[in-house]
Amino acid sequence: MSQISGEWLAALKNEFQQPYYARLYKKVMEEYRTQQIFPPPQDMFNAFEYTPLNDVKVVILGQDPYHNDGQANGLCFSVREDVAIPPSLVNIYKELHSDLGCYIPDNGCLEKWAKQGVFLLNTVLTVRAHQAFSHREIGWEQFFTLAEYAGQTVGTSATERKAERVLERICGVDPGTVRKIDGRQRKQFADCLGERFFGFPPPFPENPDGNDSTDGFDWNGIRMLFPAPAVDPDGSVVPLAHTTAVELCEATDLYLCDKWRYAPLVVAILCRPEGEPYREQTCRHRAWSMKKLPMDIVLRLYDMLRQAHRYLKRNYPLCYETPRTNGEKTGREGPTWNELLLWAGHFRIDEIEPVRRMNCHDFMDLVQSRIKMNG
C-alpha cells in the first residue's frame, strides 16, 4: 500500500493508529493478494500526493474508483491520458463548458486539477475489478470522512456540508436529522471531532452564546435548568435527583428511539425554568422552538441521562433485565420505559398518575420491588 506523507501524514497520523484502520489495512492487503484490485497500490493515495493539505481549495467527491481495466489512477473521475474519457467525466466537462465557458480537454487526466488545489477524493479508495462498490463498508468511509473534513477545514470556508458527513458517518445520525441542525453547530461539533483525531481547530465552546452553562442555558429569554443532582449522606452524587418518573420514562424512550431526531423534545422534557412542573403540552410546544438548539447543550444533557442510567442500573439492576421465559429470551426487546410505568401502576388510571408523579428513584425502587415479588 502506498504511503501518505507530508502535511497529510501530520494531520492523519492519529487515524492510522485507530483499530478500524488496522482492520482496513489488513483487509485491503489481503484483497490485493487474492483479487484484481484497482487502482494499482502505488496510486491508491494519489489524491493526497498531488494535493498537499494546505493547498486544498476545493473538495470533489466520487463514489469508488473506476472498476474497468486501466482506468483508475487514484483521483476521483480521473483516468490516464491514453484512456477514453468516462461518461461521468464527459458530463462534468460539458457542465463546466456550458456554465463557465471552459474548454473541453481531449483526455480525462485530472492531475492538473489536483496540483492546483482540487482535492479529488473517492469515498472508497479501492475496488475489485468489474465489481462496483465491492469495497464499500470495509472501513474507507470513516477514514475518508475525517480526511475530507481536514482538507475542507483548512482549504475553504464551505465546511457545513462536510460537517454533515462527519455527523452521518462517524456519529450515525440520519441525513434528514443532520440537515435540521443549525449549520454553525454542525461545524462546531465536527471541529470537536477534528480536535480529537487530528489536533486542528479547537473544540466548540461550552457556551457558544455566552451563557453560563453550569446549571442551565438561556433560551428565548428564559433560563432553562438542567436536571439537578443531589448528594447522598455518604458523599456520592445522585443524578436526576428531582426528576419525576414520567420525565425519566418519556425522555429515555425518545432517546432510545432516535436521540437525534427527538433531541429538542428530550431537552424540553428534562430542562425547564425553575419551579415549573412537568406538563406534556408545554414541553411539546417548547420543543418546536428548540429545533436549532446548540449541539453542546444536547450533548451535555445526553451525558447526564447516560450517567443517570448507569447509576440506576447499579442500584436497580432488575429493571434493566430483558424478560425471560424458562431461562430463555422471549424474542422481544422488553417493555419500553413508558410500558414499565404503566405496569408499575397496574394499568389503572387511578394508580398510574401517582406513579407518573413520583420521584424517578422511588419509581425504580417500586419497579424493582414488584419484579422481585413477581419472580
Place of cell 475530507: 148
6-30 as b/e, with b when 16 or more CB fall inside 10 Å?
ebbeebbeebeeeeebeebeeebee
Phi and psi at residue 85, in whole multiples of 5°? -70, 125
Place of cell 434528514: 176
Helix (H, G, I), strand (E, B) or coil at 215: coil
Nearest residue to 127 via CA among 140, 109, 108: 140
Q: Is 106 a catalytic residue?
A: no
Which residues have C-beta within 8 Å of that of residue 257, sequence separation ≥ 6?
none
Distance CA 202, CA 73 (A): 35
Query: In the 8-state DSSP scheme, what is residue 208?
Result: T
- Contact between 168 and 117 under an 8 Å Cβ cutoff? The reply is no
- Contact between 256 and 286 under an 8 Å Cβ cutoff? The reply is no
Q: Which three cell numbers stand for residue 115?
A: 496540483
Cis peptide bond N-terminal to 205, omega within 30: no
User: Which one from 64, 69, 174, 209 is the annotated catalytic residue?
Assistant: 64
Q: What is the CA radius of gyration of the chain?
A: 26
318-340 as b/e, with b when 16 or more CB fall inside 10 Å?
ebeeeeeeeeeeeeeeeeebbeb
174-185 as b/e, with b when 16 or more CB fall inside 10 Å?
eeebbeebeeeb
Which uninterrupted H or E stretch holds 34? helix 19-34
Which pairs with CB-CB distance under 8 Å and at least 24 residues apart come from 68-73? Answer: 68/129, 68/130, 69/129, 71/38, 72/38, 72/39, 72/43, 72/127, 73/39, 73/43, 73/46, 73/109
User: Catalytic positions, please?
Assistant: 64
